[in-house]
Amino acid sequence: MTKIIGLTGGIGSGKTTIANYFHAFGIPIYIADDEAKKLMDSNELKNAVQNTFGKAIMENGIMSREKLAKIVFDNPEDLEKLNAIVHPAVKSHFKKWLSQHKAAAYIIYEAAILFESGSFKNCDYIVTVTAPIETRIERVIKRDNSSREKILKRMDAQWTDTQRISKSDFIIQNLNTEEAKQEIKKILNFLKIKQKDA
């Protein structure tokens, strides 16, 4: 049976980069945040989001992700409402995706809010990606052209590294590409040994 490796980390930790390194080693990866964005473009989810948040998220008749983000990251209750719409859709989509990868010994399920969403409960192992806060802020500013204030708000809405690490099986410090790849190799070797022992 395919083992699910949950991969998480705070904003700017570089978890998608790490997921892609796993992919380079032949492991199928599911990027939950990317799939959530695609699913939010479906009429069903779009309508549900618009019905919940109303005209405040509309711009020229189109749903504005920026306006929606501002609302939900300023208000934990609104973030919960959005998650209640998006998470079940991602869960259902992942289930279908997983059934298409039954031949794989392991898959990577990458999610920023793996713990907050409860998705960690479906994982056999959990990997947390970490990096110093200043490094993370710099990465996000460069990537999203976002303000420091907005990034810190996003960080406040997520679990801390300490919380994530306390519930994880493996930790990858993502500062140096080669060192990160070596950590991935160690994790994969451990999993191979476990598989043989099973």
162 is in an annotated binding site: no
Neighbours of 187 (CB within 10 A): 19
2 is in an annotated binding site: no
177 is in an annotated binding site: no
14 is in an annotated binding site: yes
Neighbours of 6 (CB within 10 A): 24
167 is in an annotated binding site: no
13 is in an annotated binding site: yes
Residue numbers in the known binding site for ATP are 12-17
Binding residues: 12-17
